[in-house]
Amino acid sequence: MESLNQEMLRNVFHVLPELVWCVFGVFLMLLQPFLKNRQALTFLALLGSAIGTLITFFTFMGPGFSGLIQFDTFALFFHWLIGLVAFLVILSSDSYLQRENLDAAEFYALILFATAGMGVLSSAQELLTAFIGLEMSSISSYILAGYRRDSIKASESAVKYFLLGSFATAFFLYGIALVYGVAGSTNLAALANVDPNGTLLRMGLTLILVGLGFKVAMAPFQIWTPDVYEGAPTPVTALFSAGPKAATFALLLRIFSTIHAATDYWFWAFWILAVLTMFVGNLGAIVQSNVKRMLAYSSIAHAGYTLVAFAAITFVRPDPNLVSAAYAAVLFYLASYALVSVGAFTIVSEIGGQGERYLTYDDYAGLGTRQPFAAAGLTLFLLSFLGLPITAGFFGKLYIFTAAIKSNLVWLAVFMAINSVIGAYYYFRLIVVMYMRDHKGPVAESAANTLSPTAAMVVTVAALITLYLGLAPNHILGIVLSQPLMLSAR
């Protein structure tokens, strides 16, 4: 009995961050009837996300819950990332909630629950555990998407996300069932012993890929993205584009690193998905006149760039050096994209004004003179999306290019290059609008005001990280590469 308790206690130490996030979430829910002060709630939520992130230093490494959870360097990296994203999103939500007159406690609690779900997702070593993580983050996301109840767009966003999301989840579950049929276990370690070319395994994993592909918005499962991103409250959009995406990619990496031997099947699957996703995202973004929708399409495009590295990984499986370089590329890219994206959406959220009315390109005209700080910040983030030197996005793209070319996927690299140029057009267009075009007609109140202090903080932090990763990518890359990211199952 004694040893069982100890065992239990030890297991708990593997999920400390998730525990802290959930506890703070519940705590916030309980406080809601008593505490009406929004700033106090914000502070508590910030505290929760920060403690949850920092407690990773005390979290036990290695497998927990008899192998359901694997808290390794890989998971640690993603916990930091999503913890930081949650922190920044909460910080940027403060002024948003005040402006839109929304309840803060539940909002923050849902963000923390979603974050916990993403944490589980990134350290899950077993498919059903991953499913739980996925559901935790998804269900919180559905609610968050429709948090502005009185807005039709928000309701549309929530319903769409919920229906399509449940559909995707069903795919994911069905995939798990098939994999279980082959491997006799839902633990990822068991996949290593299965014939990778078996039809049933392929079917199962394909269904899993479809389910997860929906979450990361890869084409052709991306249809929901623009509408949901547009309708959701902008800080929530920031969260969507950063957190669940990174965590789901983490799970994808874990699953596809456990299948033995290079198989053409997966390589071509990722190759096609990557090309399709890049083109759909970039071509879609070109024709947008709404900045939020443009960023939504650009988020699809960036998922495509990440998939390029996946193609490289599945192609070069036998060579551990190349694989670890491609892993590093994925991790670096996800981190840089997530932080830049949070920064960009924060500015969009502030400029949107009450009811998010000012979202079109025209509303951004002359921003360079009206709000130099916001315009400069957004310019930096757009340049990072674009992949210009001395920003994080440049090295992200560089590493993915390198991974692709190292694996001799020159054509994929060329497609990515073409897409980068398409991307340059619509990102640069927004910069042009901000600096080179004057605003016509009266300037809306909120589009003229400066950023709120909390939003300014988020923008500053994100901008500093963008520059830091762009000038000295070594440090973070050192962390990523410190322990060979061959996931334990192999």
Partner 1 sequence: MALGGHLLTFLIFFPGVSALALLWLRGEDEVWIRRFTFVASTVEFLASLLLLRAVPIGQSHYSLEEFSRWISAPTINYHLGVDGISMFLVILTTFLTPICVLASWKGVHHRIKEFHVMLLLLEVGVVGVFLSLDLFLFFLFWEVMLIPMAFLIGIWGHDRRIYAAIKFVLYTMTGSIFMLVGIIWLYNHTGTFDLPTIQAMLHSGQLVLSERTETLLFLAFFVAFAIKVPLFPLHTWLPDAHVEAPTAGSIILAGVLLKMGTYGMIRFCLPLFPDASHRAAPWVAALAIIGIIYGALVALVQPNLKKLVAYSSVSHLGFVVLGIFAFHEISMQGAVYQMLAHGISTGALFLLVGMLYDRRHTFEISEYGGLCAPMPRFAAFFLFVALSSMGLPMLNGFVGEFLILLGTYQHHWNWAAWAATGVILSACYLLWSYQRVFYGDITHEKNRELQDISPRENWSLVVMSIVILWMGIGSPFFTRRFEAPCKTLLQEMNPNVMHEAGIRPPLAVTGGVRTTISTERLASR
Residue 402 interacts with partner 1 (CB under 8 A)?
yes
Q: Which is nearer to partner 1, 352 or 423 (CB)?
A: 423
Region near partner 1 per CB under 8 A, out of 35-43, 44-52, 166-174, 426-434 = 426-434
Q: Is 58 left (phi over 0), alpha (psi -120 to 50) or beta?
A: alpha
Q: Is 409 helix (H, G, I), strand (E, B) or coil?
A: coil
CB of 247 to partner 1, least distance (A): 25
Say which amino acid occupies 267. Answer: F
CA distances from 28 to 55, 85, 251 (A): 19, 19, 29
Residue 439 interacts with partner 1 (CB under 8 A)?
no
Backbone angles phi and psi of 288, in degrees to 5: -80, 145
Residue 466 interacts with partner 1 (CB under 8 A)?
no
CB of 461 to partner 1, least distance (A): 21
Q: Which is nearer to partner 1, 231 or 393 (CB)?
A: 393
Identify which of 76, 68, 212, 202 has the alpha carbon closest to the alpha carbon of residue 135.
212
Region near partner 1 per CB under 8 A, out of 166-174, 248-256, 283-291, 430-438 = 430-438
CA distances from 65 to 12, 79, 123, 125, 328 (A): 8, 18, 12, 10, 28
Helix (H) or strand (E) holding 416: helix 410-436
CB of 401 to partner 1, least distance (A): 5
In the range 358-397, which residues lie near partner 1 by CB under 8 A? Answer: 369, 383, 388-390
Distance CA 455, CA 443 (A): 21
Position among 80, 265, 373, 428 found at the interface with partner 1 (CB under 8 A): 428
Residue 406 interacts with partner 1 (CB under 8 A)?
yes
Distance CA 84, CA 489 (A): 28
End-to-end CA distance of the chain: 34
Position among 156, 437, 443, 488 found at the interface with partner 1 (CB under 8 A): 437
CB of 310 to partner 1, least distance (A): 18
Residue 435 interacts with partner 1 (CB under 8 A)?
yes
Position among 140, 336, 371, 420 found at the interface with partner 1 (CB under 8 A): 420
Q: Which is nearer to partner 1, 310 or 401 (CB)?
A: 401
The answer to whether 299 and 229 have CB atoms below 8 angstroms apart is yes
Tokens standing for 251? Answer: 């799970």
How many residues bind partner 1, per CB under 8 A? 30
Distance CA 306, CA 302 (A): 6
Q: Which is nearer to partner 1, 43 or 425 (CB)?
A: 425
Region near partner 1 per CB under 8 A, out of 133-141, 209-217, 263-271, 410-418 = 410-418
Residues 212, 117, 336: CA angle, nearest 5 degrees: 70
Distance CA 178, CA 322 (A): 31
Position among 401, 455, 462, 466 found at the interface with partner 1 (CB under 8 A): 401
Helix (H) or strand (E) holding 84: helix 73-100
Q: Is beta strand 62-64 parallel, antiparallel or unpaired with respect to 69-71?
A: antiparallel
The 320-359 site mask, x for binding partner 1 (CB under 8 A), equals --------x-------------------------------
Position among 385, 473, 487, 489 found at the interface with partner 1 (CB under 8 A): 473
Region near partner 1 per CB under 8 A, out of 219-227, 273-281, 413-421, 453-461 = 413-421
Outline where 232-315 has alpha helix (H): 234-258, 264-286, 291-315
Q: Which is nearer to partner 1, 236 or 430 (CB)?
A: 430
Helix axes 73-100, 234-258, angle to 10 degrees: 160
CB of 118 to partner 1, least distance (A): 27
Note the residues at the interface with partner 1 (CB under 8 A): 328, 369, 383, 388-390, 398, 401-402, 405-406, 410, 413-414, 417, 420-421, 424-425, 428-429, 432, 435-437, 472-474, 477, 481
